[in-house]
Amino acid sequence: MKKIAILTSGGDSQGMNSAIRAVTRSALANNFEVYGVRRGFKGLIDNDFVKLGTKEVSDILYRGGTFLQSARSESFKTPEGQAKGVENLKAKGIDYVVVIGGDGSYRGAQALHRHGIKTYGLPGTIDNDIPLTDYTIGFDTTLNLVTDLVGNLRDTMSSHERVSVIETMGRNCGDIALQAGIASGVDAILIPEVEPDLEKVAASVKAGFDRGKSHSIIIVAEGAGEAPEVAKKIKELSGLDTRATVLGHIQRGGSPSSFDRVFSSRLGHRVIELIQEGITGVGLGIESNQLTHHTFDEIFNAKNTIDLKLYQIFQDLV
């Protein structure tokens, strides 16, 4: 009987559980033996495997986080750590490994592949920063969450006639800020992909208040600056009452959206098809609503880009 192991690594994202469930159930339906590795690559090194049956993955489809837990393992970046992980996989007779995580986790997956382990990557990160996929698992849920939270802030900012500067996650990618900003109708979006002009932002915020607006919302991606500093500068430049909010980890939790549940289920199911087609050493994704796969080398040689047309649309609508 073929054996497959699944691990979740890096920052967790909503939809990881449903991806684990989809890989597990699809694998069981095809007579695989399935294992979960606890705490990502750390668990590979620590030999921390749990056998997964259909019951172990029931009741998790709609839960945020990852029931296998996640970790950031510095040891797995070293040749010794990787050798230990590979040794444990071989000792257990594991034929295939599925890594669910972000770009760092994909580096770990690529390392396993280079050691001869048949490896698959599923893009699990709220940041939407993996090349060659339009979406990553968790991004849509986070977008909806951030949009709701911005709405809450707008209510209170409006009552007090304030400016709200809201910082979103995303590392060096501005997609959460950009798309949540468009969805929320904010007044300015600061993202790492576009050079900021705080004087221009402050002037347009001030002009908005002069026209009779009761609030103003500026959304800043963490890769473009820190909300408290941006708020201080906007206050200095505009003289308006300004508050900073760092959304932080609250935007990484909660029940996955329907999109993320369906997307992660499709990806998990596709892994087993790829195994049957004899394709290995690939990261999966979605492009123009078709599931696609690319080798880890292709993914790392490609550059993640956001859709700058969206930024242009935002500028025309603001």
Ligand X SMILES: Nc1ncnc2c1ncn2[C@@H]1O[C@H](COP(=O)(O)OP(=O)(O)O)[C@@H](O)[C@H]1O
Ligand Y SMILES: O=P(O)(O)OC[C@H]1O[C@](O)(COP(=O)(O)O)[C@@H](O)[C@@H]1O
How many residues of this chain bind ligand X (CB under 6 A)? 17
Q: Angle, to 10 degrees, between the axis of helix 308-317 and the axis of helix 175-184?
A: 30
Q: Pattern 236-275, binding to ligand Y, x per CB under 6 A?
A: ----------------x-----------------------
Q: How far is the CB of 172 from ligand Y (least distance, A)?
A: 9
Residue from 43, 108, 181, 256 touching ligand X (CB under 6 A): that is 108
Q: Restricting to residues 65-104, name those near ligand X by CB under 6 A.
A: 72-73, 76-77, 101-104
Provide the CA 146 distance to its chain's centre, in angstroms.
13
Residue of the chain from 4, 7, 8, 11 that contacts ligand X (CB under 6 A)? 11
For residue 71, state whether it binds ligand Y (rule: CB under 6 A).
no
**Which of positions 156-215 make contact with ligand Y (CB under 6 A)?**
169-171
- Among ligand Y, ligand X, none, what binds residue 170 when CB lies within 5 to 8 Å by partner kind? ligand Y
Q: Verify whether residue 307 is a known catalytic residue.
A: no
Q: Which is nearer to ligand X, 78 or 152 (CB)?
A: 78
| Residue that the structure tokens 């996989």 belong to | 89
- Kindly state the smallest distance separating residue 259's Cβ from ligand Y, in Å: 18
Any binding-site annotation on 102?
yes
Which residue out of 12, 127, 129, 140 is catalytically annotated? 127
Q: Which of 45, 126, 182, 186 binds ligand Y (CB under 6 A)?
A: 126
Q: Based on the number of CB atoms within 10 Å of its own CB, is 316 exposed (0-12), middle (13-18) or buried (19 or more)?
A: exposed
* 68-95 core/surface letters (b: 16 or more CB in 10 A; e: else): bbbbbbeebeeeebbebbbebbeeeebb
Applying CB under 6 A, does 8 fall inside the site for ligand Y?
Answer: no
**CB of residue 212 vs ligand Y: minimum separation in angstroms?**
36
Is residue 77 part of the contact set for ligand Y (CB under 6 A)?
A: no
Beta bridge partners of 36: 6, 50
187 in a known ligand binding site? yes
Q: What are phi and psi of 33, to 5 degrees?
A: -95, 135
The verdict on 41 binding ligand X (CB under 6 A) reads: yes
Of 41 and 311, the one with the shorter C-beta distance to ligand X is 41
With CB under 6 A, what is the number of residues at the site for ligand Y? 11
**Cα(299)–Cα(283) distance, rounded to whole angstroms?**
8
Residue 107 binds to ligand X (criterion: CB under 6 A): yes
Q: Could you tell which of ligand X, ligand Y, none binds residue 126, using a CB distance below 5 to 8 A set by kind? A: ligand Y
For binding to ligand Y (CB under 6 A), which residues are involved?
10-11, 102, 125-127, 169-171, 222, 252
Binding residues: 11, 21-25, 72-73, 102-105, 125-127, 154, 162, 169-171, 185-187, 211, 213-215, 222, 243, 249-252
**For binding to ligand X (CB under 6 A), which residues are involved?**
9-11, 41, 72-73, 76-77, 101-105, 107-108, 111, 125
Query: Catalytic positions, please?
Result: 127
